[in-house]
Amino acid sequence: MPFITTKDKTEIFYKDWGNLAGKPVVFSHGWPLNSDNWENQMFFLASKGYRCIAHDRRGHGQYLDLKDVMMVGHSTGGGEVIRFLGRHGTSRVSRAVIVGAIPPVMVLKESNPKGLPIEVFDGFRTAMVKDRAQFFLDVPIGPFFGFNRPGAKISQGLIQSWWQQGMMCGFKGAYDCIKVFSETDMTEDLKKIDIPVLILHGTDDQIVPIDASAREGIRLLQKGTLKEYPDGPHALPNICIEEVNQDLLTFLES
């Protein structure tokens, strides 16, 4: 299996699917999951001739020498994409897509009146310490996939997959990441990005509410496009597979 070794000797696992000579698409997963959560999109785009690469974030499970990349991030992974571009620029990246993503910032504060109270994230931490295994069932059974909504078509397979991926994440990494994804402010990062950025977000996202994220972030991007999925949940790549796949392909080919 392929790994990249970082400067501090950490080994980062990654998947590399599709045409090695094709245009690269780099995927960044959400919390507390891993690269497996992108398998539907990677399989689809690889079948279209693209090179699809997804890594397991440090603690969850450097990119290769790539150029003309399209970066794709979901949830916390969307924040990872935005922070990367804000820090390192866009010389190697041609476009980016963030899906149900956390930027600009999630937590409620004076400069972010639409954010979620810190007590929400304190509740995550308390639930993890009390019984992580049960908490990691409660999240996918309920708000992550929107399975708590009336009439939702519940998939036990998705619930079990989320739980399995989450339990593979190191406890400390998962716990510490709650502070990172809730409190990191990427306002200035968004302003710096000078490439086209597509934002996909569900209007019924119960994890990252759209008003404080996508609808704020689009105002900060130089070349941003926002597509809202009516009544869409947080887990768009898992629930709205065909539509997300087509949106990614159309953006790649535009």
As a whole number of angstroms, the distance between CA 16 and CA 32 comes to: 21
The answer to whether residues 27 and 244 touch, using CB atoms and an 8 Å cutoff, is no
- Options 28, 55, 234, 247, the catalytic residue: 234
Question: Residue 246, Cα to own-chain centre: how many angstroms?
Answer: 18
- Options 28, 182, 189, 205, the catalytic residue: 205
| Burial grade of 111 (CB within 10 A; 0-12, 13-18, 19 or more) | exposed
Question: Residue 236, Cα to own-chain centre: how many angstroms?
Answer: 10
Please state the length of the chain.
Answer: 254
205 is known as an active-site residue: yes
Nearest CA-CA partner of 70 in 24, 101, 30 = 24
As a whole number of angstroms, the distance between CA 189 and CA 221 comes to: 9
The answer to whether residues 9 and 20 touch, using CB atoms and an 8 Å cutoff, is no
75 is known as an active-site residue: yes
> What one-character DSSP code corresponds to residue 109?
B
Query: What is the token pair recorded at 75?
Result: 């949830």
As a whole number of angstroms, the distance between CA 177 and CA 102 comes to: 13
- Options 29, 35, 56, 75, the catalytic residue: 75
29 is known as an active-site residue: no
Give the residue numbers marked as catalytic: 75, 205, 234
